[in-house]
Amino acid sequence: MNLPNQLTLLRIVLILPFLLVLYLDVPWAAYIALAIFILASLTDLLDGKIARKRNLITDFGKFADPLADKMLVTAAMLWFVENGQMPGWALLIVIVREFAVSGLRMVASDKGRVIAAGWSGKVKTAATMVCIILMFLPIPAVVNTLCVAVIVVTTIYSGVEYFMKNRDCLSDM
């Protein structure tokens, strides 16, 4: 297994200690979980950079990398919902968008097309990661609410953009 794929697996494995720290409520849990989240997020940046630079792009990486990202982000957001920092409907919007875009990509793939991550999807990912990091810090409630709003707005915008730009994939429906 190449290094980028190992980093992707590491990101998936780090979800368990991330959640354990939070649920076992160890001293400094939020800060330890934040450190694990940041480490896991950095593996995402690193594996993609290495894979592109060394031309180590694999089918496993194409499948597991986005899945690992979704698992990590969903784990953090589930904690925020349970902790009262994020309303469940906001997480539902994120999950529905992910399923919808994944479905669109599958339909496009059946038609021989690949839908690469667009600019708005990258902005959504970056904004979500920054907001999750902020939400682990002792921030005022208004900043927490702003973070949730940024996550929801960028999620909806990028989802709508994917469908608008690729609506021809769904033309026979």
Summarize pLDDT for 77-129 with one digit per residue, the tens: 999 999 999 999 999 999 999 999 999 988 988 888 888 778 998 899 999 99
Residue 92: closest CA among 158, 166, 156: 156
Close Cβ partners of 8 (under 8 Å, ≥ 6 residues apart):
43, 44, 47, 60, 61, 64, 65, 68
pLDDT, residue 173, reads: 60
Asked if 120 and 158 count as a contact pair (C-beta separation under 8 A), the reply is yes
- Residue 154 CB neighbour total at 10 angstroms: 21
- The alpha carbon dihedral of 160, 166, 167, 170 has a sign of negative
Question: Over 80: is that where the pLDDT of 150 sits?
Answer: yes
Tens digit of pLDDT for each residue in 39-91? 999 998 898 889 889 988 888 888 888 899 999 999 999 999 999 999 999 99
pLDDT, residue 164, reads: 94
pLDDT, residue 123, reads: 94
For residue 66, what are its two tokens? Answer: 């986005």
Average confidence (pLDDT) over 166-173 = 82
Calpha distance 151→90 (Å, rounded): 8
Average confidence (pLDDT) over 1-17 = 94
pLDDT, residue 49, reads: 87
pLDDT, residue 103, reads: 92
Tens digit of pLDDT for each residue in 20-31? 999 998 899 999
Close Cβ partners of 131 (under 8 Å, ≥ 6 residues apart):
147, 148, 150, 151
Query: Domain limits of the chain?
Result: 1-71, 84-173
Buried-exposed string 56-82: b where 16+ CB fall within 10 A, e elsewhere? eeeeebeebbbebbeebbebbbbbbbe
- CB-facing half-sphere around the CA of 93: CA atoms within 13 A: 21
